[in-house]
Structure 1
Amino acid sequence: MTTPVCPFVKAARPDDACPAKNASAGVSEAAAARKDPVETATVSPKCPFGYDSSNFKLGPLSCMICHALLFDSTKCIPCSHLFCQVCISRFKDCPLCGADIEKLEADTNLQSMVDRFIKGHARIKRPHVDANGEGKQVVNEDKKVIYEDVSLDRGAFLVQQAMRAFRAQNFRSAKSRLTMCAEDIQDQLEKTDDSSELYSQLGAVLGMLGDCCRAMGDSAAAINYFEESVEFLTKLPANHLEITHTLSVSLNKIGDLKYYNGDLQGARSYYLRSLGIRRDVVKNHPGVASEILDVAISLAKVADVERTLGKEDEAVDGFEEAIKLLESLSLKSEEAGLEPRRLSVLAFLKTQLEEKQSEATASSVTT
């Protein structure tokens, strides 16, 4: 079984890829520049929900393919083994017993049980604390105990289920769990004045919802979720590395989607915002190598769109600045793991600059 990874640990992001690898695979430089290398950090990232993978195990209501709770529970006929509809639809034989799948049937009764389990997860009896600090059981007029959500436990549970489903490409399941999580956090925001932690959680979850929509091909919805994520993250202190990283990544993803939709000016605007945030981080944390790599990546994105817009000089300046940053970057022993990433980004940048210089030489020879 794949060990679940907290989605708020940056190394676990499913959509980051090395631009140099994309370029070597024959992808156009414009498309390659849309892909960030894995954005790791030297700080120890923590899930804002306090998620620990050891707290969550597979159970009888789980799909054995995606390892998340069943979504659109579906039964294989004739063996009667149960999976998520999206997961089992990729198979002709049952993954558990190997029997030929003659047909698939929805199991609405089981799914209803799963949904009730999710709805009730982490709901506990909340004590009422009076003015003297003494607790007493809260009851309504019908003498029934009042139950409420424990947002941190429930949020961690929903995010864990969503992340398992996302990694198995069951994006509808992931989106459903994340939507519930976002709604829980929004409910909590209406009940408290201390909102900084909730803003951080909501910004992260909305960004993950954007990832789901992007993976499903719904770029408009993805942009909306990423923009909402940015809205909440910008309300938080700008000196927190995890928050600023997540914010800059969301801005870059909006830029990528606008780039692919042909809105080059819009893409440039979001790339520049991300670059500005990352430059400020480097000023405040000059010794963090991963943040310097982030700046180089943002410079590459801005330079790529500048070149597409016909601003050749600005593009060259951006590529050259990024190259200088990476060539002058000296890694400490504990940062040695960043060296492959540094080299791959550097190779990509040099390739872009060499291509530009070759184009200029060819143009001068022709004239």
Structure 2
Amino acid sequence: MTPVCPFAKAARPDDGSVKKNSGSPCKYAAEHEGKAKNESGDSGKIEAKCPFGYDSQTFKLGPLSCMICQALLFETSKCMPCSHVFCKACISRFRDCPLCGADIEKIEADEELQKVVDKFIDGHARIKRSHANTDDKEAVNENKPVIYEDVSLERGAFLIQQAMRAFRAQNVESAKSRLLLCVADIREQLEGSDNKPELCSQLGAVLGTLGDCCRAAGDAGSAVKYFEESVEFLSRSKAEDMEITHTLSVSLNKIGDLKYYDGDLQAARSYYFRSLDVRRAAMKSDCHSPSLALDVVVSLAKVADADRGLGNEEGANAGFCEAINLLQSLKISANDVAIEQRRQSVLEFLNSQIAEKQRTN
């Protein structure tokens, strides 16, 4: 499964591309960059800087990084006898040290270094201090209070980037740990914001990524839980935002998929149909979008497939035919090669479903 970062422009594995706009938690980074620029002229504050070179724009590797997954160390483990450190899940796949090539005789937990990493994460991007007035000796000597703010902006982008690095390297537990911290930060902000739509959309996207982690780990129950929470918070966001709409429909489809493979076809159809409703509503406001039309076709196919499994062959055939007609009427620019390839792939699947029914008759 291809991991998807909700803070960056990325492709959904089954529903096309996600556009970067105001509905996505990628807005964290954009908002923080704009806020930082505004504050750069504020003589009363100084932007927090990471001494190890980690920041929300570059995400450089630092001394606390695992050289295998390139994310921050998680369950830090030391190779013996060479003493090089990696994440436990990463180094467990090797017999020789990836850095020096020495035989790994055993792997030991490095709890002290892990404590350093945890403290680093806990304080990252939280602290901002007021400038001291150098002309005022009393002000220089005075102990200025530490100001904690912008908990979810740069810190949120930082945590998500670390999580996605770990996820791509199949270090799922590390990814989940970082995502859970991000979720806690956003929930903390939501408590005093009266369900601010931007925060709801960010939380919904991060919860969806947590669902992806659980699904990759084979934990279907937890995956459904996080996807359902994702749907709950995304539903509180701006309905006219196309990215939120897309992310909401994808989360609904993913719940449907998990129910489908668990054998609960009725529940699967219910979620697929909800996704279809969301996508049809979005298509009404942008009827010329080929990617939206393809999303509708995918949902039609999923509903029809569930109908066939439930014995509703008439409904299934009607759904497959509607999807084929929509694909055939779709006008795609010659430059949109990827969308055309996707259309041909989906059309091939739909035709095979119709042909299968004709053979059985």
Normalized against structure 1, the TM-score is what? Answer: 0.83
Structure 1 residues 183, 53: CA separation in 2 closer, same or farther (over 3 Å shift)? closer
Alpha-carbon shift at residue 5 of structure 1 (Å): 7.8
Q: Please state how far the C-alpha of 1:11 moved relative to its aligned partner.
A: 3.7
**What are the residue-to-residue correspondences of 1:19-168 with 2, within 5 Å?**
36=14, 38-40=15-17, 43-45=19-21, 47-50=26-29, 54-125=57-128, 144-168=145-169
| 1:145 Cα deviation from its structure 2 partner | 2.8
In 2: Cα distance, 1:6 partner to 1:229 partner: 14
Q: Report the count of equivalent residues.
A: 322
Is contact 1:7–1:163 with CA below 8 Å preserved after alignment? no
Please list, as runs of the form range in 1=range in 2, the aligned pairs for 1:166-315 lying within 5 A after superposition.
Answer: 166-193=167-194, 195-315=196-316
Change (3 A) 1:5 1:67: farther
After TM superposition, the runs of 4+ consecutive aligned structure 1 residues lying more than 3 A away are: 4-13, 43-46, 51-54
Displacement, 1:348?
1.0
Structure 1 letter corresponding to 2:6? P
One-letter code aligned to 1:209: L
* CA distance, structure 1, for counterparts of residue 354 and residue 334 of structure 2: 30
- Relative to structure 1, the CA distance from residue 9 to residue 346 in structure 2 (aligned partners, 3 Å threshold; closer, same or farther) is farther
In structure 2, relative to structure 1, the CA distance for the partners of 1:270 and 1:197 (3 Å cut) is same
- Separation in 1, partners of 2:184, 2:160: 13
Listed one character per residue, the Cα deviations across residues 239-279 of structure 1 (whole Å, up to 9, x for unaligned) are 11100000000000111111111211111100000000001
Distance 1:80 1:178 in 2: 29
Q: What is the SS of the residue equivalent to 1:50?
A: helix
Amino acid at match of 1:237: K
Which residue type is aligned with residue 93 of structure 1?
D
State the distance in 2 between where 1:57 and 1:232 align: 32
Q: Is the alpha carbon distance of 1:92 and 1:12 closer, same or farther for their aligned partners in structure 2, counting shifts above 3 Å?
A: farther
Q: Following the alignment from structure 1 to structure 2, what is the Cα–Cα distance between the partners of residues 255 and 286?
A: 25
Distance in 2, matches of 1:343 and 1:210, equals: 30
Q: Higher mean Cα deviation, 91-100 or 60-69?
A: 91-100
Give the Cα–Cα distance (whole angstroms) in 1 for the partners of residues 157 and 60 of structure 2: 13
State the 1:333 CA deviation: 4.2
Equivalent residue letter for 1:312: E
Specify the SS of the correspondent of 2:29. coil
What is the identity, as a one-letter code, of the residue corresponding to 2:122? K
| Post-superposition CA distance 1:308-334 (Å, at most 9, x none) | 001111111111111111111111245
Structure 1 stretch displaced more, 327-336 or 341-350 = 327-336
Once the two structures are TM-superposed, the CA of residue 201 in structure 1 deviates from its matched residue by 0.5
The equivalent residue for 2:37 is none
**How far apart are 1:335 and its partner, in Å?**
2.8
CA deviation after TM superposition for structure 1 residue 238, in Å: 1.3
* 1:81 to partner: Cα distance: 1.0
Evaluate the alpha carbon distance shift between residue 126 and residue 266 of structure 1 in structure 2; reply closer, same or farther with a 3 A threshold: farther
Structure 2 length-normalised TM: 0.84
Partner of 1:364: none
Unaligned regions of 5+ residues in structure 2, if any? 31-54, 131-138
Shift of 1:126: 6.2
3-state SS of the aligned residue for 1:125? Answer: strand
CA distance in structure 1 between the partners assigned to 2:110 and 2:205 by the alignment: 33
Residue identity in the other structure for 2:174: S
Instruction: Give the partner amino acid of 1:163.
Output: M
My pick for the range that moved more, 283-292 or 185-194, is 185-194
In structure 2, the partner of 1:12 is: 11
The percent of aligned pairs where both chains have the same amino acid is: 64
Q: 1:178 to 1:198 in 2, by over 3 A?
A: same
Which string of whole-angstrom CA distances, capped at 9 and with x for unpartnered residues, describes residues 25-83 of structure 1? xxxxxxxxxxx2x5115x54561212697521111100111110000000111111111
Q: Secondary structure at the match of 2:70?
A: coil
